[in-house]
Structure 1
Amino acid sequence: MGDFNLALVIVAIIVCVLVFIFNVYLLVNYQHPDDANQAYFPKFVVVLGLSIAAISILMLPADVANRQACRHAIYNGACSLTLPMKDLWLAIYIVDAVLVFFVIPFAMFYYEGDQDKSVWKRLKSALLWVIATAVICALVLGILYGLVGKVDFTVRHLSSSTEAFPSSWGLSSLQQCIGSGARQCSAYSANPSSETTWTMRTSFPEYVVALATIVGSVLFTIFGGVGIACLPLGLVSSFIRRPKAVITRSQYIKEATELAKKARELKKTADALHQEERNGKKGRKWRKNVKAVEKELLLLEEDVKSLEEMYPQGEKAEAAWAMTVLGYLAKLVLGVLGLIVSVAWVAHIVIYLLIDPPLSPFLNEVFIKLDDVWGLLGTVAFAFFCFYLLLAVIAGAMMLGLKLVFITIHPMKWGATLMNSFLFNVGLILLCSISVIQFCATAFAYYAQATAAQEIFGHTLQSLRGIKYLYKYNVFQIAFIVLAGLTFVYYAAFVWRRKKPSGRLQLST
């Protein structure tokens, strides 16, 4: 058993190092050239945030493995030698909350500050914003914790008379308990009036995690519900609307001229908005116009990319076209696989969470059987399903950002991602990662039973005064399914069409 724990610690350390290296790789390859050799603090926050998010997802499989470490032990104190998973969970999510509500906003305020100001003034401005946020959050948390920071557990008082030890048991489905007159055990025959509510105050760290989970659950339900459908369907629709052939030079010149005209108009509008910013006219209308310009710029970049795909140039034009074709085929394959995963997720939510009692353990049983095939196979599959939800959140945020004016978009592009977009997406991932873990701990309760995560996200969170009804009546799960269904209908009705909105590049076939 001790060897098992040592191996678990070694694996955990190796995984943490690999996660850190992978996140550094992502940062280096996704960052914008303008951020090279500068903005080191935001970069550190990005790597730290992504690492915390990834580690938090991987901690649930580690929690399951940690629980199994003392399952076959022959002495009572074996479980005290395992990893302190509850303390680790609380530490991870306290760090998560600090990053989301304080560190990342500070880094974003500093990075987006007026470049004409000195470093000290930018630091001062960012610090004032963060201090104001901290004071408000502290007051809200303190008041809520003092008023409703309690958990209400429904318990049933049971009692039973003493029976003589029998010489023969003779138990059956009709005779479930010891005693000639007892047909059912006390737990079944107890009076309903014996139920009572046991109230106790939860710890402050657990309360912070619970409230952060609620905030994240709202975002996760909206973005995840939309993303679980648009992530695979977007890939498939991209294949359907792909360019079928290379266009002629005259067509290329015509399309390029139109795009150049749009680019000049956008530049003129952006210059006007920048002048308004310098004059201090940063009102609601100005922010709305800035978001509109950002979205138009993103659409213009997509049109330019589409035009380059339809008319590859240079000595390796044929190879570039072949890679384009293969890229769209890869999108089709990934889209189909993603659609299978999305359908499995939706089916599992309905079968295991919304129907009471559950019709089947479904994915829980799949993971357990995969563990029987190979020790880590079920763990890998479980981690994949959790990470898929995070990808769905990002996809949903991108889609809603393009469709809704009041949502700011922060696209992630290879070699062209500014630090503010990085920080925004990292904050979104961190905030939703708490909810993803809670969602997975609930959805895979059979697979992750008797873990520290179950204690925090199951018993405490779902019994917390004031918010327990959101979980009692499956509000988040139902909203998730509804949004996924509406997104599917939207794609079926509109997105499959090849015609793009007016003003956009019309793909030639």
Structure 2
Amino acid sequence: MFLFVLFRSVWKRIKGALLWVITTAIVIGLLLGILYGLVGKVDFTVRHLSSSTTTFPSTFTAYSRNQPCIGSASHQCSAYSASTASEKTWTMHATFPEYVVALATIVGSVLFSIFGGVGIACLPLGLIFSFIRRPKAVITRSQYIKEATELGKKAKELREAADALHQEERSGSKGRKWRKNVKAVEKELLLLEDDVKALEEVYPQGEKAETSWALTVIGYLAKLVLGVLGLIVSVAWVTHIVIYLLIDPPLSAFLNEVFIKLDNLWGLLGTAAFAFFCFYLLVATIAGAMMLGLRLVFITIHPMKWGATLMNSFLFNVGLILLCSISVIQFCATAFGYYAQATAAQEIFGHTLQSLRGIKYLYKYNVFQIAFVAFAGLTFVYYIAFGWRRRKPSGRFQLSS
């Protein structure tokens, strides 16, 4: 009897989940089909050119930089001297997979502009300021007891608040205030865990206490080194975006030329550097999501901690990586267009995506690149102003009434 009741309960949940998945898939499929039929077209602007002919010359001494074209009176070729009336627009349907990738790229680019812009600055600066805020020495036993007592009181308050929220949930009063209090308890719990970890760092215990303190010191030195290297990469990224993408015409190909010169030194060296910059951009996006998730109330907190990460946090961050990875590919294909020319990524993200109706204007006016640089600048100013400060205790925790 017990197995029958258990099987019935599990089957009910599976059936409900399948119903939601199938309904969601049908709705999304219909929306994509309608949008693809209406605006899933690519517009290419071309010119109809014509030029005169002449006998094949016996020598080419008549041609120079000042006289590059056919005809004694021509100093420019037909592509330069053609009138605007020669411009025509070719319209063709994009393939359905390309259109789905384009829509996913738009959604991912919005998140990427925010999280990536914040992360490109907070990733290296967070490591550097973590070294600046590092504990300078081990505390005494009396100080440890005092701090541990305060943390114990804070843990008791959070336990009482969690029990009160659990009682509200069982009574069925899960309103807006209840969700706000749950987020507040989750945030305070994460901060409490950080405080406990910081206390364990400054007062290592056990037979290997001296070894633990030495490893702590080495760890903060490693953060400083990685932070400085990351800051160099972040500055190179932002500089490249400004001088190659935002300024028209570009001042320099910058990193594109660096990759090409590295390829000349060794075949895979430029490719490895290209992959490193792309991977760094993706890691910076995840770092930005972590930072904003811990500081903004309206974003669900999904922390990634060694040995203490919940399954829903894993799923959230995997989904974020998958969604933003498409935008990272598109962003890198645009930023490194000179190096990645004549590739499949450049064809999809460089030509088709930037010529798609309704979407091309976002890339024509560099909306996402400008937002990326703006968020990076704001984050840099924030860290310079407040990043070096230690976090003060928030005091007694109370639920909002």
- The residue that corresponds to 2:48 in the other structure is 157
Of the three residues 128, 133, 141, the one matched with 2:24 is 133
Q: 1:53-452 residue pairs with structure 2 within 5 A? A: 118-169=9-60, 170-452=62-344
Q: Which amino acid is 2:24 matched to?
A: T
Q: Which amino acid is 1:255 matched to?
A: E
Distance in 1, matches of 2:114 and 2:191, equals 23
**When the two structures are superposed, what TM-score results if normalisation uses the length of structure 1?**
0.74
1:424-453: CA deviations, max 9, x gaps?
000000000000000000000011001111
C-alpha contact 1:154 1:197 (8 A) present in aligned 2: yes
Distance in 1, matches of 2:36 and 2:310, equals 38
Q: Which amino acid is 1:137 matched to?
A: I
1:395-418: CA deviations, max 9, x gaps?
111111111101112111111212
CA shift, 1:501, in A, is: 4.8
Q: Which amino acid is 2:47 matched to?
A: R
Distance 1:296 1:124, change over 3 A: farther
Distance 1:382 1:272, change over 3 A: same
1:294-349: CA deviations, max 9, x gaps?
11111111000000001000000010000001111111111111101100000000
Unaligned runs of 5+ in 1: 1-114, 505-509
Distance in 2, matches of 1:127 and 1:275, equals 31
Identity of aligned residues (%): 84
Distance in 2, matches of 1:118 and 1:344, equals 56
Which range is displaced more, 355-364 or 168-177? 168-177
Distance in 2, matches of 1:238 and 1:405, equals 23
CA shift, 1:122, in A, is: 3.2
1:133-161: CA deviations, max 9, x gaps?
22332222122111111111111111112
Distance in 1, matches of 2:27 and 2:174, equals 24
CA shift, 1:128, in A, is: 3.2
Q: Secondary structure at the match of 1:155?
A: strand
Distance in 2, matches of 1:147 and 1:349, equals 33
Q: How many pairs align?
A: 390
C-alpha contact 1:370 1:378 (8 A) present in aligned 2: yes
CA shift, 1:278, in A, is: 2.9
C-alpha contact 1:397 1:409 (8 A) present in aligned 2: no
**When the two structures are superposed, what TM-score results if normalisation uses the length of structure 2?**
0.94
Distance in 1, matches of 2:378 and 2:11, equals 48
Distance in 2, matches of 1:251 and 1:329, equals 25
Greater Cα radius of gyration, structure 1 or 2: 2
Distance in 1, matches of 2:12 and 2:264, equals 59
Unaligned runs of 5+ in 2: 1-5, 397-401
CA shift, 1:365, in A, is: 0.8
Q: Which runs of 4+ in 1 moved over 6 A?
A: none
